[in-house]
Amino acid sequence: MPEKKTMVISSAEQLLDAKTRRNFLKLMGAGGAVFFLPSILTACSDDDDDVTGPAFGQPAGSGPAVVIDFSRGDVAVLQYAYALEQLEADFYTRVVAAFSTSTFSAGERVVLTDVKNHEVIHRDAFKAILGPSNDFILNTTYGNLNFADRTSVLATARTFEDLGVAAYNGAAQYLTVLANLELAGKIVSVEARHAAVIRDLIAPKSSSQGDSGTSFAPKAFDDAFRPGKVVPLAQPFVVEVLTPRNAPATFVQGPNNNG
Amino acid sequence: MTTNNTTLLDSIDPEIVQTLAKRQNEIANGAGTNSKLTAALALGSIPVALAALSKDVYGQSASDVLDVLQFALLLEYLEAEFYNRGVANATVMGIPAADLPIFTTIQAHENAHVAALRAMITAKGATPIAKPNFDYTAKGNVPGFNFAAGQYATFQVLSQAFEDTGVRAYKGQAGRLINDKATLTAALTIHSVEARHAAEIRRLRNLKGWITGRSRDDLPAFTQPIYDGENNASQAGILLFPLGNNNGGGEAVTEAFDEPLTKDQVTAIVTPFLA
């Protein structure tokens, strides 16, 4: 028998790392011991930073680079998701904050408030799960978007939700840890529910299909976009420069073959 | 914070840990489940055996992928025939003209999913399962339902039940596709479309597009297994209820994450619909 070894897990981030997990599993198999340091148990933050920082509204891409290094594997994919959830959470927080001047119906306000809650929870969940790897905050910019204007707000919401679905669907193939894939799956279907509902607010009960289709479900298969396609579509809303690094060279297309 | 070590350990792929524990016993008993493992054990090399074991645990086999595809095909057959018959009987059932585009859209998608899954199964050298006969009364749980006059409300109930089930079913199988990226990606692009369908039919029924807690809302009691477990608030081993503070509370925390169902759970839900 090999000697018994021990492993110390000091951050939640390590649990997301395929290498750590492999070692963990091997250690379990060999009858080793694993210790969780107290810091991992307090990874859950209760920060109330509902909106992004003081650089809000600066020109898109005018800030420093925010690097997501895909050589980090699963952690990078979760950072990528965290970045997108930051944008969505910030957007809907501003939408809800503008209710006093906007023309949304009572029912629409309930919907948008729900979506705001879900996106903030997604963002804060990733923040907690990523632990020390959550150390970036994106500042948003929306050009001349009028948050009091129903049509403009819903159009932007649709963009975010459809992009979110395509981003998760396209990034899942880079996840190597089952628990991370499951987590992404739990979120992407909620984003798809949001997308359908927002689209139904814009064009109720529409059956219009295709890239410019207005239906709640404009395609039989949702898009799956690689990070390199998602980032340029998200960048117009971000002050910092979204900088994917070491993005995987290979991307397996979905049925729409457009990612 | 209510997180504890047990929860964290549970979060680390309990299936893998359980499987590993089981395989560890097998090793102790001199058994092997794959050739590399057996060979390593024969050489007396436990580290090599563990490495082979680890790979074996992670590696979903081609038969796994086919099993997922056939299982998905069964669900899509169930949905496609349901909407085919619903749309064919739209006038009889009394589906309003304004609502019909919802169902023709979903109908087209479910038939496209059937065709795609059949093609994927064929491309892997297997034969797609034949479409079974369905009983949309679910063995009498939906008494007398036959796409007949006055049954539009019941049609909507079944639509919601099928779509919400579909979302959870695909989600539950994704892990078995982790090593087959093309199949995984295709399945995920269907999974999110099922979620769009679910949200739309729920809106049509004046419900939220998302699932709150484990509520089946106004659906009949026999559908409860479709919603059981949706009240989970622990993600990646972290109890997320505190994140609901000022953000819709615990209800929003459960709405923000859809939960998977196992194949066995889905089979139990679907079986009454098999004639």
Tens-place pLDDT, residues A165-185? 999 999 999 999 999 999 999
| Interface contact A224, partner B, CB < 8 A | yes
Asked if the ipTM is above 0.90, the reply is no
Name A24's bridge partners. none
* Percent residues over pLDDT 70 in chain A: 80
Q: Please check whether residue B64 is in contact with residue B124, taking contact to mean a CB–CB distance below 8 angstroms.
A: no
Q: Strand pairing of B238-239 and B234-235?
A: antiparallel
Q: Please check whether residue B95 is in contact with residue B107, taking contact to mean a CB–CB distance below 8 angstroms.
A: no
B240 to A127, A174, A179, B95: CA distances (angstroms): 11, 25, 16, 41
CA distance A228 to chain B (A): 17
Q: What is the DSSP string of B171-216?
A: HHHGGGGTT-HHHHHHHHHHHHHHHHHHHHHHHHTTS-SS--TT--
- The per-residue pLDDT for range B261-274, each reduced to its tens digit, is 999 999 999 999 99
Test mutation, A216, A219, A226, A229, chain B, max B CBs within 10 A: A216
A100's CB contacts (< 8 A; 6+ apart) are none
- C-alpha span between B41 and A31 (Å, rounded): 17
- The per-residue pLDDT for range B187-229, each reduced to its tens digit, is 999 999 999 999 999 999 999 999 999 999 999 999 999 999 9
Tell me if B188 and A185 make a contact (CB, 8 A cut-off). yes
Closest among A183, A194, A214 to A16, alpha carbons compared: A183
Test mutation, B64, B211, B243, chain A, max A CBs within 10 A: B243
Residue A221 is predicted with a pLDDT of 98
Name chain B contacts of A198, Cβ cutoff 8 Å. none
Closest among B85, B73, B185, B168 to B130, alpha carbons compared: B73
The residue type found at B106 is: I
Tell me if A28 and B17 make a contact (CB, 8 A cut-off). yes
Residue B2 is predicted with a pLDDT of 33
- C-alpha span between A92 and B87 (Å, rounded): 37
As a whole number, mean pLDDT of residues B134-147 equals 98
For chain A, the farthest-separated pair of C-alpha atoms sits apart, in whole angstroms, at 71
Q: What 3-state class would DSSP assign to B243?
A: helix
Name the least confident of A106-110, B16-20, B185-189, B256-260: B16-20
Residue A20 is predicted with a pLDDT of 52
Of the candidates A15, A46, A181, the beta carbon closest to that of B174 is on A181
Name chain B contacts of A192, Cβ cutoff 8 Å. 192-193, 195-196, 199
Tell me if A111 and B209 make a contact (CB, 8 A cut-off). yes
Quote the pTM value.
0.82
